[in-house]
Structure 1
Amino acid sequence: MDVQSWTLALVILTFSIYIGIAIWSRAGSTKEFYVAGGGVPALANGLATAADWMSAASFLGMAGLISYTGYDGSVYLMGWTGGYVLLALLLAPYLRKFGQFTVPDFIGDRYYSNVARTVAVICALLVSFTYVAGQMRGVGLVFSRFLEVPINTGVIIGMIIVLFYAVLGGMKGITYTQVAQYCVLIFAFMVPAIFISIQMTGSPIPQIGMGSEVVGEGVYLLDKLDGLSAELGFDSYTDGSKPLIDIFFITAALMVGTAGLPHVIVRFFTVPNVRDARKSAGYALLFIAILYTTAPAIAVFARTNLIETVSDQPYEDMPSWFSKWEATGLVVFEDKNQDGLIQYVADKNANELTVDPDITVLANPEIANLPNWVIALVAAGGLAAALSTAAGLLLVISTSVSHDLIKKQFRPDISDRAELLIARMSAVVAVCIAGYFGINPPDFVAATVALAFGLAAASFFPAIVMGIFYKKMNKEGAIAGMVVGILLMMYYMLRFKFDMFEGGGKDGWWFGISPEGFGTVAMLINFIVSIIISYFTPDPPDEVQEIVERIRIPSGVKEANIH
């Protein structure tokens, strides 16, 4: 079978599994819709958390960015991995013990204020819609190339599928669907990596292969790639070009942004108790590490293969994968000197080839001439990664509207059935908006998602951390901090990412910090504003301070002096 037939077969098979699971585990109550009834086993929740966490940005975008930026791309590895550890150890057990469904719910109750809850809802929506834009773009990329439909059509197909199992199953359906999606995506990520590692270095372990000698050449793979990059005028692959301050701030923004992501935090409410929350966090970290330690190897394999395949080669002799990716508009060749050869160089005036970094993982098996079923498997894995995270984000959006706005503020006496209906209607609206952003994304997948982390860092992280560890933090301080943090981050994004204000562009960055890293600055200002405002305003009520003390008491301790 050809690639398209294999892809169609695997997509139909995997989507049938996802939809079947959604029907089997459909939610019948708001608790099942929001937190899967709170009865998910730790292992299953660990798998689901890993799938929720490893979005299209991890599966498609991260290896692509590392492939094209080399050492500089390590900020994504460090930030996202370190951020999950921070979340699992510092926040998740305490949030689970507090016992609220959502991050806005925690903030609303901890800061005894519906204004705080509303600000948190707005922040959650901004974070989630920015994040989901990257997922829908990933879906469009896969469908565009492997089913040979326009990217916009691919996004619409993805919208319909994710809407079906997210709306029908809620968190219960999403959780068990994500277990299946993790199995699909990790198998799809590892199989071609193992094939190419054996092909290039003789090692079946990609992490070892990346640092091994190339078969028959007697040179280490990374040294070879450095040499190829230098010949074309690119920066050395193993040397960085980003300023140290920007690397630090991007890494920090990704870390603390992770700890404020509402769709990941809510996963720790789906298990029966705090002990299982900790266990599922450990399982998830193990499952995440499999992909994250392999991504740099895939990036190196892909970059080396691409340069050797296209550089100074006759355009008319390019293999079929080249023309098929050209048809999507994600590979563009412009023969500037009319010699028929592809000039792939660092000099923008002389360069004739433009390759979208997001296609790196998808195109890599084709460039390496792997079997058609492996190429199709990667497509199915990319869809699994994008759809699993998109579903989790859509649930956060619908829950924020139905639970945190409608039930908690406007209609506290609403019936369980009516609340469930509003949640499902909210998901329908949300997926339509997400589809628009998928068709009109602000940037590459990983870069778009990085902006969502910056928004989460600027808004949620200080409010959550101080809500757990600083009992004197009051509603005035938390609200002021969140508003200042999110507005500052939004301004910086709009000015320097979207050029909506004068003085945009890289030359105008404050202190040399990119929009992806500015979330750290906004977070620090959030902390400062929150603490200063809380110092000059009344302390929280005694009962709130007691709750803060109580959630920090280790599980199993029956009595403690909380005063």
Structure 2
Amino acid sequence: MDILTWTYVLVGLSFALYIGIAIYTRAGSTKEFYIAGSGVSPLANGMATAADWMSAASFISMAGIIAFSGYDGSVYLMGWTGGYVLLALLLAPYLRKFGKFTVPDFVGDRYYSNKARVVAVICALFISFTYVAGQMRGVGIVFSRYLEVDINTGVIIGMCIVFFYAVMGGMKGITYTQVAQYCVLIFAYMVPAIFVSMQLTGNPIPQLGLGDTLSDGTYLLDKLDGVLVDLGFNAYTAGRKSTMDMLAITLALMVGTAGLPHVIVRFFTVPRVKDARLSAGFALVFIAILYSTAPAVAVFGIYNSIETVAGQRVKELPEWVANWEKTNLIIIEDKNQDGVVQFTPDIETNELIIDKDIMVLANPEIARLPNWVVGLVAAGGMAAALSTAAGLLLVISTSVSRDLFRTFKPSMTEKRELLIARISAAGAVILAGYFGVNPPGFVAEVVAFAFGLAAASFFPVIIMGIFSTRINKEGAIAGMVSGLVFTLAYITYFKFGVNLFGLSPSAVAADHWWFGISPEGIGSIGMLINFVVCYVVSKFTPPPPQKVQDLIQDIRIPRGAGQAIDH
């Protein structure tokens, strides 16, 4: 069968599986809709958390950005992986013990204020919509290539699928759908990586193939360095970002992870605090499989693409180039009319433009793997994008129905709350589709902005809310607002200032960044502002009520600690 037929078969079967699970696990109560009835096993929750966590940015875009950024792309690996460890060890067990469904729920009760709850809802919506924009963009990219439709049509198809199982199944349907999606995406990611590693180095383990030798005895990374230097680029293994920016981006991604509302809510779907810790451990193992493979996929992809395109005659280019040119995600323009593709760092002479987001998806075609592998990767990319999109949409609907409507209408019936949650999810799907059609950047970049917003708004008030009894509602509100506004303003100015404010490109160039920190890393500064403002305002305002202080002590200290044992 050809690529298109295999894609229809494998994507169709996976979609049928997801929809079947959504129908079978349809939520019948608000508890099932919000947290799957707290009845998910640690193993299943670990797989669902991994799928929720490994979004289109991880599956589709992370290897692409590493492929084109080289050493600098390692910030995404370090930040996202380290951030999950931070979340699992430092926050998840305490939040689970606190017993609230959502981050705004925690903020509202911990800071004994509906104003704080509303501010947290606004932060959650900003983060979730920014994040979901990247997922819907990933959905559109997959459909545009493999189903031979334009990206906008692909986004609309993805909206319909997510609408069905997110609105019907809620967290219960999403959880078990994500278990299936994890199995699909990890199989789809590893199979081509193993094949290409065998082709290039003879080593079936991609992580080891990355540091292995080619058939001519040259180390793969040394060969790639030489190829890029010969073309006029920096060596692949050489860093170009400043140390300050590397540190800031890594920190923003790490602490942003710990503030992501759609990941935090996963730890409420298990029965006990012990299960939350156990599922976090399972999830880390499942995540590590993909994350440790991503650098190898990046190197295999960029090496093969340069070898098969750069310096080749335009009329003799491989079939994969023509396939991806149809999507406008790869562009070849023979500027000097010599019939040969020139790949250079100079924009005036460069004749090859490759979208970072296609590297993983195009990798099997570049390596001339069997057609079924190409179709499998399409199914995996869809699974990654849809799993995270569903989780984010649930956070959005929960924030509206539970944290807003329930706050101002506490007498609302459970049936009405469930209806509002489903309507909110439907509205969120439509808005997410708009952002997918008009994304503010490529997938990993957009997701990095979401992490920065989470770092600047949620992380400080969550961490201080757990480990300090002195931080009060005034401090929390002031900290969240200042951190979010600063980070959002910085990103908007430096990423979109040319279009929004009519600024000259030089005014928003990298040499104007504060302390040399890029918009992707500015969340770390926003986080520090949040911490300082929160602490200072709390210092000069009344402390929290004694019952709140006692509650904080209770969630931190295990029951029975310090009690003597009678013999």
TM-score normalized with structure 2 length = 0.98
Equivalent position to 1:517, from 510, 521, 527 = 521
Structure 1, residues 442-496: CA drift from partner, whole Å, max 9, x if none?
A: 1110010000000000000000000000110000000000000000011001100
Matches within 5 A, 1:43-442: 43-215=43-215, 217-407=216-406, 409-442=407-440
Structure 1, residues 428-450: CA drift from partner, whole Å, max 9, x if none?
A: 00010000100111111001000
1:474 maps to a residue whose letter is: N
Cα displacement (A) at 1:320: 1.8
- Cα gap change, 1:295 to 1:555, in 2 (>3 Å): farther
1:547 maps to a residue whose letter is: L
2:512 maps to a residue whose letter is: G
Counterpart in 2 of 1:547?
Answer: 551
Deviates more, 1:306-315 or 1:181-190: 306-315
Task: Tell me, in whole angstroms, the C-alpha distance in 2 between the residues paired with 1:187 and 1:209.
Answer: 18
- Tell me the SS of whatever aligns to 2:326: helix
- Tell me the SS of whatever aligns to 1:332: strand
1:6 aligned onto 2:10: no
2:306 maps to a residue whose letter is: I
Task: Tell me, in whole angstroms, the C-alpha distance in 2 between the residues paired with 1:400 and 1:49.
Answer: 19
Task: Tell me, in whole angstroms, the C-alpha distance in 2 between the residues paired with 1:17 and 1:524.
Answer: 45
Kept in 2: contact 1:497–1:505 (CA 8 A): no
1:429 maps to a residue whose letter is: G
1:134 maps to a residue whose letter is: G
Pairwise CA RMSD of aligned residues? 1.0
Task: Tell me, in whole angstroms, the C-alpha distance in 2 between the residues paired with 1:558 and 1:171.
Answer: 38
Structure 1, residues 300-335: CA drift from partner, whole Å, max 9, x if none?
A: 000100110001101111122111111101001111
1:506 maps to a residue whose letter is: A
Kept in 2: contact 1:112–1:475 (CA 8 A): yes
Unaligned runs of 5+ in 1: none
Task: Tell me, in whole angstroms, the C-alpha distance in 2 between the residues paired with 1:504 and 1:194.
Answer: 42
Structure 1, residues 180-235: CA drift from partner, whole Å, max 9, x if none?
A: 000000000000000000000000000000100002x1100000000001011111
Kept in 1: contact 2:56–2:385 (CA 8 A): yes
Structure 1, residues 91-142: CA drift from partner, whole Å, max 9, x if none?
A: 0000000000000000000000000000000000000000000000000000
Cα displacement (A) at 1:508: 1.5
Kept in 1: contact 2:471–2:544 (CA 8 A): yes
Counterpart in 2 of 1:491?
Answer: 489
Cα displacement (A) at 1:559: 6.1
Task: Tell me, in whole angstroms, the C-alpha distance in 2 between the residues paired with 1:441 and 1:161.
Answer: 20
Task: Tell me, in whole angstroms, the C-alpha distance in 2 between the residues paired with 1:132 and 1:498.
Answer: 19
- Tell me the SS of whatever aligns to 1:514: coil
Equivalent position to 2:538, from 511, 531, 534 = 534
Kept in 2: contact 1:274–1:555 (CA 8 A): no
- Cα gap change, 1:83 to 1:479, in 2 (>3 Å): same
1:512 maps to a residue whose letter is: G
Counterpart in 2 of 1:475?
Answer: 473
Structure 1, residues 42-85: CA drift from partner, whole Å, max 9, x if none?
A: 00000000000000000011000000000000000000000000
Kept in 1: contact 2:308–2:318 (CA 8 A): no
* Alignment: residue pair count: 558
Deviates more, 1:551-560 or 1:108-117: 551-560
Cα displacement (A) at 1:555: 5.3
1:201 maps to a residue whose letter is: T
Structure 1, residues 487-528: CA drift from partner, whole Å, max 9, x if none?
A: 001100110011134432322211110000000000001000
- Tell me the SS of whatever aligns to 1:370: coil
Task: Tell me, in whole angstroms, the C-alpha distance in 2 between the residues paired with 1:353 and 1:238.
Answer: 22
1:445 maps to a residue whose letter is: V
Task: Tell me, in whole angstroms, the C-alpha distance in 1 between the residues paired with 2:75 and 2:133.
Answer: 21
Task: Tell me, in whole angstroms, the C-alpha distance in 1 between the residues paired with 2:559 and 2:42.
Answer: 17
TM-score normalized with structure 1 length = 0.98
Unaligned runs of 5+ in 2: none
Counterpart in 2 of 1:455?
Answer: 453
Cα displacement (A) at 1:553: 1.3
- Cα gap change, 1:358 to 1:256, in 2 (>3 Å): same
Cα displacement (A) at 1:340: 1.2
